[in-house]
Amino acid sequence: MKKILVLAVMLIGTTTFAQNKNAKTTMEVDGVCLMCKSRIEKACLKTKGVKSAVWNVKTHELKLIYDDRKTSIETIQNSVTNAGHDTKELKATEEAYAKVHPCCRYRDVAVLEDHKVDEEHDHKD
């Protein structure tokens, strides 16, 4: 009887703290172009447990669906920063940032200005 009671308590505890296999979250990730989009999304999707990753070039918002039994926000952020992109909470190392294409150097004011000019031309066409 004692074993059944212990087992019941363990099952209730496990059910109460069950994790979500389709957890959803958004986070801010720095980048400037479609190459950044591809790199950010690929870094996320290579992370075990990530089911969907969609990064918006204009808003810098990364929408994720992931299995939080297999991964965590911190792990996903580490994947993004290892790919050379900053999140609001974590910054990419200089080594990782240096590996991104020169057009993708979002910390460089001149690159940001170039992308603003490109965006303006895109709207005029």
Q: What is the pTM of this model?
A: 0.78
pLDDT tens sequence for the chain (125 residues): 555 544 444 444 444 455 788 999 999 999 999 999 999 999 999 999 999 999 999 999 999 999 999 999 999 999 999 999 999 999 999 999 999 999 999 999 888 888 876 655 454 44
All domains in the chain, ordered by first residue: 20-124 (3.30.70.100)
The rounded distance, in Å, linking the Cα atoms of 110 and 20 is: 42
DSSP characters over 64-124: EEE-TTT--HHHHHHHHHHTT--BSS----HHHHHTS-GGG-TT-HHHHHHHHHHHHHHHH
